[in-house]
Homo-oligomer: A and B are copies of this chain.
Amino acid sequence: MDLSANIAGLTLKNPTMLASGVLGVSRASLKNVIGHGAGACVIKSISLEARAGHNAPNIITFEAGAINAVGYSNPGVDAAKEEFSNLKELGSPVVASIIGKNADEFAEMAERFLSDEFAAVEAVLSCPHTPGYGTLAGQNTPENTEKITKAIRKKTDLPVFIKISPDSNPIGEVARAAEAGGADAIVAVNTMGPGMVVDIQTGQPILDFKMGGVSGPALHPIAVRCIYDIHKATKLPIIGCGGVTFGKDAIEMMMVGASAIQIGTGIYYRGIDVFKKVTDEIAEFMQRKGYNKLDGFIGLTHKLEE
């Protein structure tokens, strides 16, 4: 059985990827995640300057998922460039993740940070809880999406992935704007919301930033619908992200059009070997259904409509 996934020229030994911002803060942590079965890794998002991020609590979990407001803590482009070296030795492709306050910053990030250490670059236009970035800076509109994508496209030959917000509306237009800007794939989706949890003993919002992006099971059906809509709107390959905990969640995303999937919060629920577990569950499903490769069911939901 062939479990390999293809996205925009990348070949992954299996379709599970580490989502940005979860664990991937250092080369060593990527190696550890790859050792637990990840077909590829996205590093934690990097900005020009070092950022301490929001104070803690940065993450809480609730009945239906997790809420985080890490606030893009990262050591800045220069330290990160040192940190993320010799990545080819790690055994699975590593994707850079970059953020910027505007198209120029994204371009500068691409220029200063990217090298062929990385298999691709993911540009994040969609964080719902960091002032100056993502949806709080309006980066999720079709216009800004196209503009930022173009700016990055000019500065790199790596495949460019645009990571979009589930709160983009209509999401198909945002995906088409990325396509128009020269993107090679869409990552759908970032966290949604933001959401807020209040400690009723004190009346205080628990996250220090008060609100944060919602991930995990709560996000999953919305991510599936986003992928479904994006697949209708563009021909770009899609990397699904949002609430993948079990193999079935990954399979759903592939059926509505994803070529590969990312996992973040799933690590909380199933451990760091969630990559291996999800891959095994996909393999079991394929065995039972008689599929030899992922293409057998990628996009199936759309084919059934024809």
A→B interface (CB under 8 Å): 62-65, 67, 167, 169, 192-198, 200, 202-205, 210-211, 214, 216-222, 224-225, 228, 243, 245, 248, 251-252, 255-256, 285, 297, 300-301, 303-304
Contacts and interface: CB of A to CB of B under 8 A. Distances in A.
A67 B221 contact: yes
B203 A304 contact: yes
29 contacts: A62-B217, A62-B220, A63-B64, A64-B65, A64-B217, A67-B221, A167-B169, A192-B192, A192-B222, A193-B225, A195-B222, A195-B224, A195-B225, A196-B224, A196-B225, A196-B228, A196-B256, A197-B224, A198-B224, A198-B252, A198-B256, A198-B301, A200-B248, A200-B285, A203-B304, A205-B228, A205-B301, A214-B218, A217-B218
Nearest to A223: B195
B65 A252 contact: no
Identical subunits present: 2
Contact of A297 (B65, B203, B217, B224): B203
Given A167-B167, A195-B221, A221-B214, A200 B63 contact: no
A193 B221 contact: yes
Nearest to A246: B63
A193 B219 CA distance: 9
Given A63-B217, A195-B225, A218-B218, 15 more contacts: A64-B220, A65-B218, A67-B221, A193-B221, A195-B220, A195-B221, A196-B256, A200-B248, A200-B252, A200-B285, A202-B304, A203-B301, A211-B228, A214-B221, A214-B222
Contacts of A198: 224, 252, 255-256, 301
Contacts of A220: 62-64, 195
Contacts of A200: 248, 251-252, 255, 285
A265 to B, nearest CB: 11
